[in-house]
Every structure is written in structure tokens, then in C-alpha cells.
Amino acid sequence: MSDEKAVENMIVTKGKTAPRVTPEKIDAQIMDEEYYVFPNTMMTVCCLSLVNGFNTVGFSACASPENFDAEIGRTIARRNAREQIWALEGYRLKQKLYERSLHGE
């Protein structure tokens, strides 16, 4: 089980039901993904396009050419790009809750 799934299970088990960002909400923001490996390098870049038109970028690189694997590079680069969405969605939710509190909702 991934660490993200383990944390999600813990949150659900403990009955934490206040508004929050979930892995499903993160994934729902991703509209498209593209990858690029720079020529003569072992660096893979992933650009995630979000539903609102914003983009996040993640990368991966290995030190030894013998360890380069395109699939592994894409997986790590995508994970790094996806991780940035958590902060963006967390900010968006916090702003929404703040605005609600100003209006007594």
C-alpha cells in the first residue's frame, strides 16, 4: 500500500470529515500529461495540465546512464509534478473556508 493510501485510510478510519483535499480531488484536477527527455541526458520532465489551464512540472534524473529507464523516469517525474497540486488545492480550499468565515457561513 502506498504511503498516500495509508494516510487516506487513517483519515477515513478516524472519521475526519471536515473539508479537505483528497487524492481523488488531486487526480480530478489533471486533464493531460506530457513527458520530455532532454537529448543526451537522463532527465525526464513531466508537465501536468490542470483543468483550469494551470500547469505543474516535475522532473527526474539519474546519475548513472546504466540506471536510466524511461518508464521509471516518467513515474518519478509525474509524482513530483502531482505533488505540487496538493499545495495549490490546499491553498484554494483554505481560501474558500476563509471567505466563508467572513460571511458567517
Q: What is the CATH number of the domain that holds 79?
A: 3.30.160
pLDDT for 60: 98
pLDDT at 20 over 80: yes
Contact 26, 82 (CB under 8 A): yes
d(CA 48, CA 63): 25
Mean of pLDDT over the chain: 95
Contact 29, 49 (CB under 8 A): no
Amino acid in position 36: Y
Interval 13-25 mean pLDDT: 93
The pTM assigned to this predicted structure is 0.89
pLDDT for 1: 56
Going by pLDDT thresholds of 50, 70 and 90, the confidence category of residue 83 is very high
Digit-coded pLDDT (tens) for 63-74: 999 999 999 999
Instruction: Give the domain extent around 71.
Output: 21-102
Give the total number of structural domains in the chain. 1
Interval 20-36 mean pLDDT: 97
Q: Which three cell numbers stand for residue 54?
A: 494551470
Interval 14-33 mean pLDDT: 95
In-domain check, residue 98: yes
In-domain check, residue 9: no
Q: Which three cell numbers stand for residue 43?
A: 532527465
In-domain check, residue 63: yes
Strand residues in 5-103 grouped as ranges (E): 30-37, 43-50, 55-61
